Structure 1
Amino acid sequence: MPPVNTFPLQLRFGDEDSYGHVNNVRFVQFLEDARVHLMSGSRPEGSFMDLIDPDQYTLVGRQEIEYLAPLNFSTTPAAVDLWVTAVGGSSFDLGYAVRDRVAAEGSSTSAIAATTMVLVSRTTGRPVRLSDAQRGILLSWQGPAVPFRRARAR
């Protein structure tokens, strides 16, 4: 599964819990950090956030994480791979892999995850259709479905 975007992740000693591995709650923050970098990062075509009207914002509609192996503290940066798995009318799905190091060779995947994001109007609180430009950027990051062991119900 070739990632579209890989974000380095500097673990902190305080990320570990009493069991000696990174706590599951921290993984949600890792996904958020990667998502914010992807959405607001500068690219020749602009960032996704540049294309959002001031009256709009994105909300997490759904999130799923499957933990595959413990992630332990290391001074070597870990990584979050991030890509788009689907684009709908007002929502889009993201796929992630959290790995124990940035270099793909020799790395171990600690978790895979998926998030559904929804574009919403601040005024009405209702979903807003994605524009063609927004869809174009999202589709440029498209990759495969997240290979969960248990199939997602749709």
Structure 2
Amino acid sequence: MSTVHTLPLHLRFGDEDSYGHVNNVRYFQFLEDARVQLMSRPAGGLSFMDTIDPDHYTLVGRQEIEYLAPLNFSTVPAAVDLWTTAVGVSSFDLGYAVRDRIESAGSVTSAIAATTMVLVSRSTGRSVRLSGTQKDILGSWQGEPVPFRRARTR
């Protein structure tokens, strides 16, 4: 079963570069904004962020993005679709699709991306095990792997 969360993305005129489309660097900020929003949403009373005590935090371990089409400024909200693609012992993978509008019908996907997040101890700097509650929350967002083109052409 696939659970995709769609989060609105309000573009700013300043997101465009001299080429007239949203700059590639901004996409990583879009992913971060969507990730923080989803991880802060309550899921059965607790958000994922509520389950992290002060001695722990999450770090980006890896990110990959594939640009598919230009994204241009619009006053109509764009969208970031976000889901979990894998949950490990101390890390989890997220998948994303950035689309040109919030309505899925007729929207164009501008980019697909994946992020590996790692739960880390502040005191030791080492990765730590995800709790059962954290795994349950992440599992409730489970979806398909990100369909990168490079994976299909090998």
Q: Could you say whether these structures have the same fold, taking a TM-score greater than 0.5 normalized by the shorter chain as the test?
A: yes
Give aligned-pair identity as a percent: 78
1:110-148 C-alpha deviation (Å, 9 max, x unpaired): 000000000000000000000000000000000000000
Q: State the TM-score, normalized to the length of structure 2.
A: 0.95
Which blocks of at least 5 consecutive residues in structure 2 are unaligned? none
Which residue of 1 is the match for residue 128 of structure 2?
128
1:29 counterpart SS class: helix
Show the counterpart of 2:78. Answer: 78
| Cα distance change, pair 87–115 in 1 and its aligned pair in 2 (3 A) | same
1:35 lines up with 2:35 in the alignment? yes
Work out whether residues 3 and 81 of structure 1, in 8 Å CA contact, stay in contact via their aligned partners in 2: no
**Alignment map for 1:1-154 (pairs within 5 Å):** 4-151=4-151
Tell me, yes or no, if the aligned pair for 1:78 and 1:102 is still in contact at 8 Å.
yes
Whole-Å separation in 2 of the counterparts to 1:43 and 1:134: 10
Q: Which runs of 5 or more structure 1 residues have no equivalent in the other structure?
A: none
Q: What TM-score, normalized by structure 1, do the two folds share?
A: 0.95
What CA distance in whole angstroms lies between the structure 2 residues aligned with 1:10 and 1:3? 22
Distance of 1:84 and 1:42 partners within structure 2: 16
Q: Does structure 1 conserve the Cα–Cα contact (< 8 Å) formed by 2:10 and 2:77?
A: yes
Cα RMSD of the aligned pairs, angstroms, is 1.4
Q: Report the AA paired with residue 57 of structure 1.
A: Y
Which letter maps to 1:144?
A: E
CA distance in 1, matches of 2:20, 2:62: 28
Q: CA deviation at 1:151?
A: 2.0
Report the number of matched residues: 152
